[in-house]
């Protein structure tokens, strides 16, 4: 999965079409990193929740599709919390699928899987450097906490906001060299993620209001 600054950069691009403003924009942007907060892989939150649970993953189905079915009414009503969370899960799927589908011939043992995961994280973290700094602002933490409680897959406390914001403020970046991707290939993946999400879900959600809307091509 890409790191948080990359998620936020994709979210900003997609928001050109969602058009969330002010407090709705803050909710949407925070929701774009919300699925990761309780996992303990980037920051230590007040409560640990397994990655597969917060990302709604099962062996039978992709997490973003399960989320879409479960919270479809909230997406149709254009709720910023659910659109941000949904975009995060979609982005994770696209990026993970792109990596493993291209390198799966190298997976022969469980040990190989762990090695490849390290390669994936290395390359995604290097790419993430280009989006640092990418900060968040929260005007009303209590109101956001109440809103987040609607999603049963996560559990956020007030102090977790400071932990997350401090991480984004002080992230020093990642040192290393690409091992599988190039920056140009990841630029293409970044562009594809945003464009495909806009065309598949935002335009589809707005089809009754925008029947003549053209697909995003750049």
Q: What is the mean pLDDT of each successive set of 10 residues along the chain, which is 218 residues long?
A: 96 98 97 97 96 94 95 96 98 95 69 80 97 94 97 97 96 95 98 97 70 58
pTM: 0.92
| pLDDT value, residue 54 | 98
DSSP string, the chain: ---HHHHHHHHHHHHHHH---HHHHHHHHHHTTHHHHTTSSSS--SS---HHHHTT--SSS-HHHHHHHHTHHHHHTT-HHHHHHHHHHHHHHHHHHHHHHHHGGG--SHHHHHHHHHHHHHHHHHHHGGG-S-----S-HHHHHHHHTTSTT----HHHHHHHHHHHHH--------SS--HHHHHHHHHHHHHHHIIIIIHHHTTTT-TTPPPP--
Query: In this structure, are residues 85 and 67 in contact, taking their beta carbons and an 8 Å threshold?
Result: yes
Calpha distance 27→137 (Å, rounded): 10
Query: In this structure, are residues 196 and 94 in contact, taking their beta carbons and an 8 Å threshold?
Result: yes
| pLDDT value, residue 1 | 84
Interior/surface letters 95-133, b for 16+ CB within 10 angstroms, e for the rest: bbebbeeeeeeeeeeeeeeeebeebbbbbbbbbbbebbe
**By C-alpha distance, which of 92, 90, 171 is closest to 136?**
171
Q: Name residues whose C-beta falls within 8 Å of residue 153's C-beta, 6 or more positions apart in sequence.
A: 35, 49, 53, 54, 55, 56
The two structure tokens encoding residue 30: 């925070």
């Amino acid at each position: 999965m890409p790191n948080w600054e990359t998620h936020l950069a994709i979210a900003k691009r997609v928001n050109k079409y969602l058009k969330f403003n002010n407090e709705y924009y803050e909710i949407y942007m925070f929701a774009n990193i919300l699925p990761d907060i309780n996992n303990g892989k980037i920051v230590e939150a007040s409560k640990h929740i397994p990655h597969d649970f917060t990302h709604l993953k099962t062996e039978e189905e992709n997490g973003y599709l399960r989320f879409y079915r479960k919270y479809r009414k909230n997406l149709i009503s254009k709720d910023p919390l659910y659109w941000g969370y949904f975009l995060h899960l979609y982005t994770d799927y696209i990026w993970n699928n792109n990596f493993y589908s291209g390198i799966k011939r190298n997976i022969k043992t469980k040990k190989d899987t762990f090695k490849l995961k390290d390669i994936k994280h290395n390359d995604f973290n290097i790419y993430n450097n280009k989006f640092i700094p990418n900060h968040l602002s929260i005007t009303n933490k209590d109101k956001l906490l109440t809103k987040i409680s609607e999603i049963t897959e996560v559990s956020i406390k007030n102090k977790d906001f400071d932990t997350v914001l401090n991480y984004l403020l002080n992230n020093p970046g990642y040192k290393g060299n690409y091992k599988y991707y190039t920056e140009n290939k990841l630029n293409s993946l970044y562009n594809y993620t945003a464009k495909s999400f806009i065309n598949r879900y935002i335009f589809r959600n707005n089809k009754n209001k925008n029947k003549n809307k053209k697909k995003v091509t750049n």
